């Protein structure tokens, strides 16, 4: 605090700059400069030494890097184990909520996030050799066809359930214990194939519905140029992906040809890599590159 006050009094720093440099609350520095606070009484000493806190922070980061993020209760248990032979103010020897709040404040590089499930296969397959091979192949295609951002595309399917709006945020009366929302009777899954370029251009969507045959347009006010198809299980098949490939070639601005080649990057699902699909893409002027298995979450 004394160093921060000296910086401000010497006009070396503004209050805001001194706060940022020394990491102290702006209100505290303002009170000291105005004379409202003169006592030098300090708070209670910390239970852990600075070296112990740094070691714990590094441990949390290392575990997160390995995909085994720690829960707060695990961190508290570890601290309780460290402090079990020394005097501490914790109830039952375990740090409480206020301890975590203070620890988090001292180390803002740690945060609380909601975890995302990650299959073990994705961890195993994301190796440097596999990623390097993929980018080597990508570089060869760039150099061979001189693909610019408007000629580099990425496509992928995603599944949604018709009529399901659970999870969206709505306006409700304060104090409401539950917010029911009327849903449609439909529970069918819809597969949507989307495609974007590196220049932020998009191809009209390809909608795949669960039905034996398509009798009507199932989506109202769909975007111009969108395509729809029906399939008994509502997932992509090689024949449908080939149809989408024709849809892609028709929708690309400026057209696709052997003299105006485009690069399409996608995952290696079996419906994408049928022999007929690869042959037809070559004749259309589309270069295909598949992402290595179990790496699409990163690449």
**Is residue 226 assigned to a domain?**
yes
- pLDDT-derived band of residue 48, with 50, 70 and 90 as boundaries? confident
User: 14 and 60, same structural domain?
Assistant: no
Residues 6 and 86 in one domain: no
pLDDT value, residue 171? 65
Shared domain check, 138 and 233: yes
Whether pLDDT at 164 is above 60 = no
Whether 171 is in a domain gets the answer no
Domain span at residue 37 reads: 1-42
- The C-alpha atoms of residue 161 and residue 187 are separated, in whole angstroms, by 6
Assess whether pLDDT exceeds 90 at residue 107: no
Same domain, residue pair 272 and 126: yes
- Tell me whether residue 173 is in a domain: no
* Residue that terminates a domain, selected from 115, 130, 147: 115
Distance between CA atoms of residues 34 and 153, nearest Å: 61
Residue 86 has pLDDT above 80, yes or no: yes
- Do 106 and 148 belong together in one domain? no
Task: Using the predicted structure, report yes or no on whether residue 118 has a pLDDT greater than 60.
Answer: no
CATH classification of the domain holding 218: 3.30.420
Q: What is the pLDDT of residue 69?
A: 75
Residues 62/72, Cβ–Cβ less than 8 Å:
no
Establish if 174 belongs to a structural domain. no
Residue 255 counted as domain residue: yes
> For position 172, what pLDDT does the model report?
64
Highest mean pLDDT among 32-41, 140-149, 201-210: 201-210
99 and 194 together in one domain:
no
Q: Is there a single domain that holds both residue 24 and residue 141? A: no
Q: Is residue 274 part of a domain?
A: yes
Instruction: Please report which helix (H) or strand (E) contains residue 193, including its range.
Output: strand 189-197
Global pTM reads: 0.56
Q: Answer yes or no: is 172 within a domain.
A: no
Of the residues 10, 26, 42, the one at which a domain ends: 42
Structural domains counted in the chain: 3
Residue 299 lies in a domain: no
Q: Within this chain, do residues 145 and 287 fall inside the same structural domain, yes or no?
A: yes
Domain boundary among 42, 59, 74: 42
Q: Convert the pLDDT of each residue in 186-196 to its tens digit.
A: 567 788 899 99
Question: Are 36 and 64 in a shared domain?
Answer: no
Alpha-carbon distance 162 to 170, whole Å? 19
Do 147 and 214 fall within a single domain?
Answer: yes
Residue 111 shares a structural domain with residue 157:
no
- 152 and 218, same domain (yes or no): yes
């Amino acid at each position: 605090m004394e160093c921060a006050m000296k910086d401000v009094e010497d006009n070396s720093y503004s209050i805001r700059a001194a706060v940022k440099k020394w990491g102290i609350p702006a209100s505290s520095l303002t009170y000291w400069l105005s004379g409202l606070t003169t006592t030098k009484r300090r708070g209670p000493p910390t239970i852990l030494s600075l070296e112990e806190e740094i070691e714990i922070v590094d441990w949390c980061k290392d575990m997160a890097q390995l995909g085994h993020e720690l829960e707060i209760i695990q961190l508290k248990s570890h601290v309780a184990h460290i402090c079990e032979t020394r005097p501490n103010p914790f109830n039952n020897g375990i740090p409480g909520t206020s301890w975590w709040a203070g620890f988090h404040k001292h180390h803002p590089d740690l945060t609380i996030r909601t975890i995302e499930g990650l299959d073990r296969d994705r961890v195993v397959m994301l190796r440097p050799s596999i990623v390097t091979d993929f980018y080597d192949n990508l570089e060869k295609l760039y150099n061979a066809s001189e693909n610019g951002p408007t000629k580099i595309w990425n496509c992928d399917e995603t599944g949604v359930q018709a009529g399901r709006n659970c999870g969206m945020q709505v306006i409700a009366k304060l104090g409401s214990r539950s917010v029911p929302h009327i849903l449609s009777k439909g529970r069918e899954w819809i597969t949507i194939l989307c495609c974007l370029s590196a220049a932020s251009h998009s191809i009209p969507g390809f909608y795949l519905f669960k039905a034996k045959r398509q009798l009507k347009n199932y989506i109202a006010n769909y975007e111009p140029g969108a395509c729809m198809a029906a399939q008994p299980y509502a997932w992509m098949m090689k024949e449908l992906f080939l149809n989408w490939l024709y849809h892609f070639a028709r929708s690309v601005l400026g057209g696709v040809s052997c003299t105006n080649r485009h690069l399409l990057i996608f995952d290696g699902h079996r419906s994408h890599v049928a022999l007929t699909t690869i042959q037809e893409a070559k004749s259309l002027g589309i270069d295909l590159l598949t992402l290595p298995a179990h790496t699409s979450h990163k690449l």
